[in-house]
Structure 1
Amino acid sequence: MRIALAATASLLYNISPAASFTAVRTPTTHQHSSSPSALHAKTFAVDTAKNQLTVTPISTLSGTVTLPGSKSLSNRCLLLAALSSGKTRVENLLESDDIRYMLEALDTLQVPVERDVTDKTAVTVTGQAGPIDSPTPDETVELFLGNAGTAMRPLAAALCMGRGSFVLDGVPRMRERPIADLIDGLKQLGAKVSCVEETGCPPVTIRADGLEGGKASISGKMSSQFLSSLLMASPLCEGDVTISIKDELISAPYVSLTIGLMKKFGVSVQIEGDMDGTPSFLIGSDEKYTSPGSILVEGDASSASYFLAGAAITGGTVTVRGCGSDSVQGDVAFANVMEQMGATVTWAPESITVTRDPSVRLKGVDVDCGKIPDAAMTLAVAALFAEGPTTIRNVYSWRLKETERMKAIVAECTKLGATVEEFEDYCIIHPPEGNKVKDNVVIETYDDHRMAMTFALAACGGVNVIIEDPGCTAKTFPTYFEMLGSIAS
């Protein structure tokens, strides 16, 4: 794994061992852009022999960033396009490992996907007008999905609705990420599907022969992706489907995002009850997916958090383009948290601008982050620069992600000089004395893209931060360090 990722880093940054790179964008790049300050981009030192990138001290982040496409929306759009009648052009797809795994899975399933030779972020999908059946009925189709939860969960549900034998697997960490609640819901609808009984995790084995429909009651505490996966698959059943939450629903904005996207593909979901409580959802037998013709993937709101936090920490002014007041993504609410900490936020329909008056200190906050768990990781680093402690609540889902994020965040914040209290579903971060983070700290990233991107912001404390395995950002944001450097001074 280390060798492979070191090679990835070399590929991404076009470097040689113990070299460095200047983070300047090229004008032909479709994925991102920055302000004219990119001409004064920071140079980050890279050591490919050690597989490390050193983020040099950042005094200010200022400029405009055009965000890459949302990971969650990209993979949802690809799957719904594959299930629809007609052809769908999907634009502004995120260029990342997670999306690559979904595209490779569709290739294996022989769903026609035409790549645009002039735009790497655009594809045209010819839908199946219903369930995806095995292209080899007499053989088991094996799908390798890396560590892409946004591919594993929805595909596991969708393939139960067609016909054929399938095995869905991934990297060792994927085999530690629970999926039993989704499997339980699918079984209630009559699916012949299983995961590893002892762990409740992948590989997932499916023996599909179509489903009539029915009722399923599942837990919403572990991951909203389980509900989203069932919802997206439900129109493929022959009859009505009712899905109810038996306890509580975390990350409800992601479910709303799913339902909104299904609507764009012609399917209406009836909701009963409070989304923040124990709602239930009805998908009628007459609901079928129809291509909208084309769809533009919104900029990734989780990725916006790094640049917005950097502006708040340094007192610079950063505008992120691609998501704003009209966004369907819950993570745009991270900007409100920066405002609570003392930053100034300006909203536009498709952009957000954050700055901070240098005379106003950031202050610690106590926030329920259950609806923004990914962006909440960025808050952990912003907390290092605040006056007083910051409490990040309702993030048990951190423990189930690409790595055990709660323990990882506690460990790396502690290395930087913070004192962190860890609890089951929340933590309290006491910043270093005088908000002075330690210099030349080596950040372990645990093969987790968000750990690398989040802790790079510690350099805003005027110190060097050494990021292990920088190539792990390829999961969702391979150009992150280039973009960060392009607005840094």
Structure 2
Amino acid sequence: MDLRLKTEDFNSGTHITISGSKSESNRLLILQQLYPDLQIENLSNSDDTHHLQGALTSDNTIADIGHAGTAMRFLTAFFATQEGVTKVLQGSDRMHNRPIEILVNALHDLGADIEYVEKEGYPPLKISGRKLTKEKVSINGNVSSQYISALMLIAPSLEKGLKIELVGKITSVPYINMTLQLLAQLEVEAKFEGQVIKIKPKSTVEKQTIVVESDWSSASYFYSIIALSKVGSSVKLSAYKKDSLQGDSCLEEIYKHFGVTTTFKENSILLTKEKEHSSAVLKEDLKNAPDIAQTIAVTCFGLGIACDLTGLHTLKIKETDRLEALREELTKLGADISVTNESLHLKPSLKIKENIQIATYNDHRMAMAFAPLALKVSLGVLEAEVVTKSYRNFWKDMLSVGIQNVTIK
């Protein structure tokens, strides 16, 4: 599905309800398998979460998780602990080119039985579940936090718990802390001090219900829309809270640069364009929130201001090489942009080219990050259905705020 986007009238004051955080939902689904007395409300309706649920509830030997990187990492660790269960985890072509060797090596060190079906270091994986008895493991701290969280989620189910030593610089700390705080809600004893995470074993938990907060990554596109709108424009988003577990909640502070204020209401936030954006270069280290880099870069381009974004090394191994994809698509629109292996540098732009077709590279965030530019110019989005990976109602919600999307293919 290819779309043509344009905006005639922005519907200020619209109220949008966004589904639960994919990051929280996927962690809780693994924990629910370990502790069946846990109930979950407001689960994400993303493809990633559906894939994870399907793999956890199916009796099939083969589990296909599509593009769902989180599902691949979490399920690899989970199935490695399931005695007597054999699973083959496979996914899309892109998934079969996303490295997983660091996690598999750590699980091997714990005694797991995992084989590479095709290419060494990459999915598909054949996992034969067994009892893991070792209690210590080391893993690099500067890799995807999903590897670390995968180990943390299985830790309380191990007989002796688990001590995880993080080697070197640690990135994406908020996602590690999210996992810790969800474990704490289940009264699992867990500590993160210095370079070491220690998690004690726990066999059962009290019956309880956890309500998943709505996804802050999804909120980023509305922050961008308000930033690109006229002063006085607003949108209300549910359901959010000030003491969020999600690293992407740093949007509240970052988007002040663009004149956007965030007012916390009961179970919601109100985003308002209170003043014009700053003309100063935006400089941000996004090592703790790399998923909002695309949104921020497009916002800066749409406003004609420069940015230097760093801490982006994990974007090279996402659904696509997001740094190269951003460089390619923003250049088509007229941007003066350069990227390295871990940073993006955008110079001020005076004009945005119209009617450019944005390629999405099988990456949901490419489609969604560029959509707000329709407030400035007409543009196309190719393979726009890719948004269902994390945000099934995205195009419907764009229509609600006034961004018209017409199917052209």
TM range (shorter): over 0.9
Q: Secondary structure at the match of 1:56?
A: strand
- Contact 1:194/1:204 (8 A) holds in 2: yes
- Contact 1:271/1:281 (8 A) holds in 2: yes
> Could you say which residue in structure 1 is the equivalent of 2:175?
254
Q: Secondary structure at the match of 2:345?
A: strand
- Say whether 1:413 aligns with 2:330: yes
Q: What's the C-alpha RMSD, in Å, of the aligned pairs?
A: 2.0
Q: Provide runs of 4+ in structure 1 moved above 6 Å.
A: none
Normalising by structure 1, report the TM-score: 0.78
- Say whether 1:472 aligns with 2:386: yes
Out of 350, 370, 377, the residue aligned to residue 455 of structure 1 is 370
The number of residues matched between the two structures is 399
Specify the code of the residue in structure 1 equivalent to 2:210.
Answer: I
> Could you say which residue in structure 2 is the equivalent of 1:23?
none
How far, CA to CA, are the matches of 2:274 and 2:262 in structure 1? 11
- Contact 1:385/1:431 (8 A) holds in 2: no
Q: Secondary structure at the match of 2:49?
A: helix
> Could you say which residue in structure 2 is the equivalent of 1:57?
7
How far, CA to CA, are the matches of 1:424 and 1:85 in structure 2? 42
Q: Secondary structure at the match of 2:160?
A: coil
Shift of 1:444: 0.4
- Contact 1:175/1:202 (8 A) holds in 2: yes
> Could you say which residue in structure 2 is the equivalent of 1:115?
none
> Could you say which residue in structure 1 is the equivalent of 2:191?
270
- Contact 1:185/1:216 (8 A) holds in 2: yes
How far, CA to CA, are the matches of 2:258 and 2:312 in structure 1? 19
Out of 119, 123, 129, the residue aligned to residue 208 of structure 1 is 129
- Say whether 1:303 aligns with 2:254: no
Change in Cα spacing, 1:292 to 1:425, as seen in structure 2 (3 Å) is farther
How far, CA to CA, are the matches of 1:280 and 1:410 in structure 2? 37
How far, CA to CA, are the matches of 1:306 and 1:330 in structure 2? 16
> Could you say which residue in structure 2 is the equivalent of 1:151?
71
Change in Cα spacing, 1:292 to 1:390, as seen in structure 2 (3 Å) is farther
> Could you say which residue in structure 1 is the equivalent of 2:18?
67
- Say whether 1:84 aligns with 2:42: no
Shift of 1:388: 3.5
- Contact 1:224/1:255 (8 A) holds in 2: yes
Specify the code of the residue in structure 1 equivalent to 2:153.
Answer: M
Change in Cα spacing, 1:334 to 1:61, as seen in structure 2 (3 Å) is farther
Per-residue displacement from partner, 1:22-58 (whole Å, max 9, x unpaired)?
Answer: xxxxxxxxxxxxxxxxxxxxxxxxxxxxx31111135
Shift of 1:357: 3.7
How far, CA to CA, are the matches of 1:212 and 1:361 in structure 2? 56
How far, CA to CA, are the matches of 1:61 and 1:312 in structure 2? 14
Out of 165, 169, 177, the residue aligned to residue 244 of structure 1 is 165
Out of 27, 30, 50, the residue aligned to residue 100 of structure 1 is 50
- Say whether 1:171 aligns with 2:171: no
Unaligned 5+ residue runs, structure 1?
1-50, 110-139, 274-278
| More divergent stretch after superposition (162-171 vs 330-339) | 162-171
- Contact 1:391/1:427 (8 A) holds in 2: yes
Per-residue displacement from partner, 1:127-160 (whole Å, max 9, x unpaired)?
Answer: xxxxxxxxxxxxx922111111121111110111
- Contact 1:334/1:376 (8 A) holds in 2: no
- Say whether 1:220 aligns with 2:149: no
Specify the code of the residue in structure 1 equivalent to 2:216.
Answer: A
Out of 408, 430, 433, the residue aligned to residue 347 of structure 2 is 430
Shift of 1:188: 1.5
- Contact 1:239/1:284 (8 A) holds in 2: yes
Change in Cα spacing, 1:246 to 1:360, as seen in structure 2 (3 Å) is closer
Change in Cα spacing, 1:302 to 1:292, as seen in structure 2 (3 Å) is farther
Out of 395, 411, 419, the residue aligned to residue 312 of structure 2 is 395
- Contact 1:265/1:292 (8 A) holds in 2: no
Change in Cα spacing, 1:291 to 1:208, as seen in structure 2 (3 Å) is same
Shift of 1:68: 1.2
> Could you say which residue in structure 1 is the equivalent of 2:406?
none
Shift of 1:240: 3.3
Unaligned 5+ residue runs, structure 2?
404-409
- Contact 2:259/2:275 (8 A) holds in 1: no
How far, CA to CA, are the matches of 2:204 and 2:314 in structure 1? 31
- Say whether 1:188 aligns with 2:109: yes
Identity percentage over the alignment? Answer: 33
Per-residue displacement from partner, 1:138-188 (whole Å, max 9, x unpaired)?
Answer: xx9221111111211111101111213221111111111111111111111
Shift of 1:96: 2.3
How far, CA to CA, are the matches of 2:250 and 2:51 in structure 1? 29
Specify the code of the residue in structure 2 equivalent to 1:191.
Answer: A
Structure 1 residues 294-373: aligned runs within 5 Å: 294-315=209-230, 316-348=233-265, 350-357=267-274, 359-361=276-278, 363-373=280-290
Per-residue displacement from partner, 1:280-305 (whole Å, max 9, x unpaired)?
Answer: 111223x2352543221110010000
- Say whether 1:283 aligns with 2:283: no
Per-residue displacement from partner, 1:102-150 (whole Å, max 9, x unpaired)?
Answer: 12112214xxxxxxxxxxxxxxxxxxxxxxxxxxxxxx92211111112
> Could you say which residue in structure 2 is the equivalent of 1:26?
none
Shift of 1:313: 1.4
How far, CA to CA, are the matches of 1:399 and 1:272 in structure 2? 29
> Could you say which residue in structure 2 is the equivalent of 1:17?
none
